[in-house]
């Protein structure tokens, strides 16, 4: 049967002050009217029934995940952040106990994708491929530009396959290249972005974990034994802290010989920071994007997020991100959006600002 | 007896969103802990008893003036704005009915002055001079730079006078000069800023009004007859709309032959816009001035006004004025602060923003 593992463990500090520890980016409608995790679940729903959707989140966010996804029953709350390999390992183990023939799509909860039909075709074709062969599929997004913030995958020989989606053997993974290299990658046509979307059978991924991460997988198997019983939370709390903090790309994908790249020819945006949302909303004549009440005089290229009860007015400013919330307002130059995390760090260092985290 | 007329009729649009029609600049603690009008009254109090302080304001603001100045009994609410000559004319008429020997200081409600002792000396000496001679005294502020936004007064022959304050005959008034002219004025040492602070006897100013603004003064005398009676408000409402909208400088000061300039050798700031408040608060290492909760990363030369319940965080910005209030936030480039008025105009044009005026 088809399963989905929705990865929802991040804290989304780059989206402060809208994102908070208990309500990070994936639990907010950063782009669109529904929250990112709701969009993710709705996007995959025709391929996977609600009973077979597993969300991996953390204990601070679990209550809100349940509220936002009332039909999803499998919610695993990590005792602490341990990167993607342990999170996927535990979800895989839990699924495998219930359905050893499971085929699963691992999906980040916070991507924005408009071409839902294209997405469903690719994920659906990948699920079929993973059901038929012992492969680890990664969905490679066709680059739209030489971004240096993403990992790239070089594709090799194309698979002979009757599906509408193209598949290739993966040749190599390259972490965040420099600008020049990224430009070469894009113009070659041989590279795809690693979007953290994977498709595989329980059997194939369990075998890969066993082979490349035996210690981690042993812990997953101990957790697996308790899955569906009263001791699950206790065993998870005991085993999880001991697991290595490691990304699944590095833990198994870059080591495995049976990695396949699916041609992700749909639009995809990981909406990595505030300026990214400017790509998804209509601009006024001055290039400003606004949500909520906004009045401007001689202002250009700003992103302004307020609400119906609060007016943001700008005069003579440009290239700013302005985000208003009830208890905090951010004013950030668009080119410095990565430093929003430093604000969160400063707040964390002062007791009086704890309420704003 | 000494009287004071406190001029508090403005709407302070340049201080939006803190200033609103019902609570403009003079009724806010724009600089300092007390409101500007409270500071003005406290500053003049040793010279004038509370019973002889007259505040001229408008009907929208009268209630708040009463609340902020519970000891002040004479509050005249203009039926509508009519510039300074009618406002001063009416206050003069009201005072003259009660005390034909009155000597009065006319003071704007929204100046900021730190050297209270120097101020009291100059105003006190001017009151004494005005009691002794039929003159119209204007307190001329020693320029601190070639500001082009102020009116200048050239001084002439010095008066022989035993007071600590110097007085000169006024030679001429010059409205807002260009930069080069202003520089010449400042370097000559012969010019003072016109700060809208006047001192004169009832007799002298009534005579000047009678001579130079006979129509306006006729109306003032009709209002005077009703002063202290039940018909005052009705007569004021009938006469005031007909009065000419004219500034007292133009109406009488520039025409009169008996104008004296007092040497205002105390600090004075009319705090004309948001950037002006940067002059009165301590700056952090980056040149930022903040009131209320503020956290910054790589930000410089900003003025940030929030409160204890709301945090403003800035990242990578400079030369901004940021003013947060419960229902509106302003983000304005320091060099464009005069355009804050355009925001207020835009708001006035849209029904849904009326609540923000």
Q: What is the Cα–Cα distance from A305 to A324, expressed in whole angstroms?
A: 6
Point out the residue among B310, B314, B339 whose CB comes nearest to the CB of A315: B339
Single out the residue in A264, A289, A324 at which a domain terminates: A264
3-class secondary structure, A46: coil
Interface of B with A in 317-356 (CB under 8 A): 317, 320, 322, 324, 326-333, 335-337, 339-340, 342-343, 346-347, 353, 356
Interchain CB distance below 8 Å, A316 and B333: yes
Q: Given an 8 Å threshold on Cβ–Cβ distance, is B329 in contact with A339?
A: no
Alpha carbon distance B314, A351 (integer Å): 19
Any domain includes A176: yes
Cβ proximity of B299 and B281 under 8 Å: no
Q: What part of A 258-287 touches B (C-beta under 8 Å)?
A: none
Report DSSP letters for B252-303, one per residue: IITT-S-EEEEEE-S--B---SGGGGGGGS---TTS-EEESEEEEES-BS-E
Residues B246, B286 share a domain: no
Set of chain A residues whose Cβ sits within 8 Å of the Cβ of B336? 297-298, 315-316
Supply A78's token pair.
């990590």
Tell me what the mean pLDDT of segment A266-287 comes to: 94
- Per-residue confidence (pLDDT) for residue A228, from 0 to 100: 92
Give CA separation, B221 vs A144, A163, B161, B245, in Å. Answer: 79, 97, 34, 17
Return the residue of A nearest to B353 by Cα. A311
Of B324, B327, B339, the CB nearest to A297: B339
Q: Which residues on neighbouring strands pair with residue A65, listed in sequence order?
A: none
Considering the domain boundaries, does residue B226 fall inside one? Answer: yes
Q: What is the pLDDT along chain B (357 residues), one digit of tens a residue?
A: 999 999 998 888 999 999 999 899 999 999 989 999 999 999 999 999 999 999 999 999 999 999 999 999 999 999 998 999 999 999 999 999 999 999 999 999 999 999 999 999 999 999 999 999 999 999 999 999 999 989 999 999 999 888 999 999 999 999 999 999 999 999 999 999 999 999 999 999 999 999 999 999 999 999 999 999 999 999 999 999 999 999 999 999 999 999 999 999 999 999 999 999 999 999 999 999 999 999 999 999 999 999 999 999 999 999 999 999 999 999 999 999 999 999 999 999 999 999 999
Supply the pLDDT for residue B224. Answer: 98
Query: Which structure tokens are listed for A145?
Result: 């530009």
Both tokens assigned to A314 = 């700008």
Contact (Cβ atoms closer than 8 angstroms) between residue B318 and residue B296: no
Q: DSSP label at B318? A: B
| Binary contact (B316, A335; C-beta < 8 A) | yes
Averaged pLDDT of chain A:
96
Q: Looking at the complex, report in whole angstroms how far the Cα of residue B324 sits from the nearest Cα belonging to chain A.
A: 8
pLDDT at B125: 98
Residues 6 or more apart from B225 whose CB is under 8 A from it?
B97, B235
Complex-level ipTM: 0.90
Q: Which residues of A touch B346 (CB under 8 A)?
A: 295, 297
Q: Do B332 and A317 touch (CB under 8 A)?
A: yes
**A223 pLDDT above the threshold of 90:** yes
B183 and B74 inside one domain: yes
Q: CB neighbours of B262 closer than 8 A, spacing ≥ 6? A: B122, B125, B126, B129, B137, B138, B139, B140, B165, B166, B167, B199
Is A9 a member of any domain? Answer: yes
Residues B108 and B144 both lie in one domain: yes
Closest partner residue to A339 (CB to CB) among B316, B327, B347 is B316
Can you give the pLDDT at residue B223?
97
A7 touches chain B (CB under 8 A): no
Tell me how close the Cα of A81 comes to any Cα of chain B, in angstroms.
27
Based on the fold, state whether residues B40 and B113 are members of the same structural domain.
yes
- How close is the nearest chain B Cα to the Cα of A268, in Å? 28
Specify whether B117 is located in the same domain as B207: yes
Show residues of chain A in contact with B295, CB under 8 Å. Answer: 343, 346-347, 353
Answer whether residue B182 is part of any domain.
yes
With respect to residue B269, please indicate whether it lies within any of the assigned structural domains: no
Q: Do B315 and A322 touch (CB under 8 A)?
A: no
Q: Does B16 share its domain with B91?
A: yes
Beta-carbon contacts of residue B169 (< 8 Å; ≥ 6 apart): B155, B156, B157, B159, B259, B260, B261
A333, A258: one domain: no
Nearest to B331 among A310, A317, A339 (CB): A317
Asked if residue B223 belongs to a domain, the reply is yes
pTM over 0.95: no
Where are any strands of DSSP class E within chain A? 2-7, 53-58, 74-78, 103-108, 136-141, 151-158, 167-174, 191-201, 259-264, 289-291, 293-297, 303-305, 311-315, 320-324, 328-333
- pLDDT of A161 reads 82
Domains contained in chain A, number? 2
Tokens of A239: 């085993």
- Contact yes or no for B297 and A342 at CB 8 A: yes
Question: Which of A328, A340, A343 faces B310 most closely, judged by CB atoms?
Answer: A328
Boundary (domain end) residue, out of B264, B287, B322: B264
Q: How close does chain A come to B312, measured CA to CA in Å? A: 5
Strands (E), chain B: 2-7, 53-58, 74-78, 103-108, 136-141, 151-158, 167-174, 191-201, 259-264, 289-291, 293-297, 303-305, 311-315, 320-324, 328-333
CA A109 → CA A10, A65, B142, distances in Å? 9, 11, 66
Mean pLDDT of A177-199: 96
Q: pLDDT tens, A14-57?
A: 999 999 998 999 999 999 899 999 999 999 999 999 999 999 99
Task: Give the pLDDT confidence score for residue A162 in this predicted structure.
Answer: 87
Distance from CA of A349 to the nearest CA of B (A): 12
Considering B264, B291, B310, which residue would you say is the last residue of a domain?
Answer: B264
pLDDT at B12: 82
Nearest residue of B to residue A338, measured between CA atoms: B315
CB pairs under 8 A between A and B: 124
Q: Are residues B259 and B284 in the same domain?
A: no
Task: State which residue of chain B sits closest to A328, comparing Cα positions.
Answer: B311
Chain-chain contact of A315 with B343 (C-beta, under 8 angstroms): yes
* A19–B contact, CB cutoff 8 A: no
Nearest-Cα distance to chain B for A23, in Å, is: 19
A110 band by pLDDT with thresholds 50, 70 and 90: very high
The reply to whether residue B315 touches residue A346, judged by beta carbons under 8 angstroms, is no
User: pLDDT confidence of A12, banded at 50, 70, 90?
Assistant: confident
What residues of chain A lie within 8 A of the CB of B338, using their CB?
none
Distance between CA atoms of A90 and A94, rounded to whole angstroms?
6
The arithmetic mean of pLDDT across residues A5-20, rounded, is: 92
Regarding beta strands B136-141 and B103-108, do their DSSP bridges make them parallel or antiparallel, or are they unpaired? unpaired
Six-digit token string for A275:
């300026």
Contact between residue A93 and residue A254 where contact means Cβ atoms under 8 Å apart: no
Same domain, A221 and A334: no
Residues B83 and B194 in one domain: yes
Q: Is residue A269 part of a domain?
A: no
Cβ-defined contact of B17 to A306 (cutoff 8 Å): no
Q: Residue A9 has what pLDDT?
A: 85
How many angstroms separate the CA atoms of B63 and B135, rounded?
A: 35
Contact B127, B105 (CB under 8 A): yes
Owner of token pair 């010019």: B191
Which residues of B are less than 8 Å from A297 in CB distance? 336, 339, 342-343, 346
Please judge whether B340 and A309 are an interchain contact, meaning their C-beta atoms are less than 8 angstroms apart: no
Task: Return the pLDDT at A74.
Answer: 96
Asked whether A12 and A19 are in contact (CB, 8 A), the reply is yes
Left (φ > 0), alpha (ψ -120 to 50) or beta: where does A300 sit? beta
Q: What pLDDT is stored for residue B161 in this prediction?
A: 82
Which chain B residue lies closest to A310 (C-alpha atoms)? B327
- Evaluate if residue A11 carries a pLDDT over 90: no
Specify the pLDDT at position A180.
Answer: 96
Give alpha helix (H) positions in chain A: 36-44, 62-68, 84-98, 116-132, 179-188, 202-212, 214-226, 232-239, 248, 340-348
Same domain? A201 vs A336? no
What 3-state DSSP class applies to A81? coil
- Contact check, Cβ <8 Å, A315/B331: yes
Distance CA B328, CA A324 (A): 10
Q: Are residues A260 and A280 in the same domain?
A: no
**What is the strand order of the sheet B293-297 is part of?**
A289-291, A303-305, A320-324, A328-333, B311-315, B293-297
**Mean pLDDT along residues A161-180:** 94
Q: What is the pLDDT of residue B9?
A: 85
| Structural domain that includes position B81 | 2-264
Identify whether B322 is part of a domain.
Answer: yes
CATH assignment of the domain containing A138 = 3.90.550.10
């Amino acid at each position: 049967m088809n399963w989905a593992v929705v990865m929802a463990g991040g804290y989304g500090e780059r989206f402060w002050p809208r994102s908070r520890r208990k309500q990070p980016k994936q639990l907010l409608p950063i782009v669109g009217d529904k929250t990112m995790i709701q969009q993710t679940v709705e996007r995959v729903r025709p391929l996977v029934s609600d009973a077979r959707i597993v969300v991996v989140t953390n204990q601070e966010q679990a209550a809100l995940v349940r509220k936002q996804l009332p039909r999803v029953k499998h919610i695993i709350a990590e005792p602490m952040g341990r990167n993607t390999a342990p999170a996927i390992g535990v979800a895989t183990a839990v699924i495998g106990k219930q359905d050893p023939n499971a085929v699963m799509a691992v999906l980040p909860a916070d991507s924005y994708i408009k071409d839902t039909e294209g997405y469903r075709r690719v994920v659906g074709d990948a699920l079929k491929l993973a059901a038929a062969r012992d492969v680890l599929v990664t969905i490679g997004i066709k680059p739209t530009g030489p971004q240096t913030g993403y990992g790239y995958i070089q594709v090799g020989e194309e698979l002979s396959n009757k599906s509408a989606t193209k598949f290739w053997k993966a040749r190599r993974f390259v972490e965040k290249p420099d600008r020049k290299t990224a430009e070469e990658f894009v113009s070659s046509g041989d590279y795809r972005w690693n979007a953290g979307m994977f498709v595989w059978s329980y059997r194939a991924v369990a075998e890969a974990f066993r082979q490349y991460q035996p210690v981690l997988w042993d812990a997953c198997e101990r957790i697996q034994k308790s899955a569906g019983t009263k001791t699950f939370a206790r065993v998870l709390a005991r085993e999880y802290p001991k697991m290595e903090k490691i990304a699944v790309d590095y833990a198994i994908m870059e080591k495995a010989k049976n990695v396949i790249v699916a041609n992700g020819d749909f639009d995809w945006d990981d909406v990595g920071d505030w300026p990214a949302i400017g790509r998804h909303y209509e601009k006024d004549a001055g290039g400003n994007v606004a949500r909520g009440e906004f009045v401007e005089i001689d202002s250009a290229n700003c992103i302004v997020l307020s609400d119906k009860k609060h007016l943001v007015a700008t005069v003579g400013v440009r290239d700013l991100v302005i985000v208003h919330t009830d208890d905090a307002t951010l004013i950030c130059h668009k080119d410095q959006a990565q430093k929003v995390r430093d604000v969160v760090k400063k707040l964390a260092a002062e007791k009086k600002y704890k309420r704003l985290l």
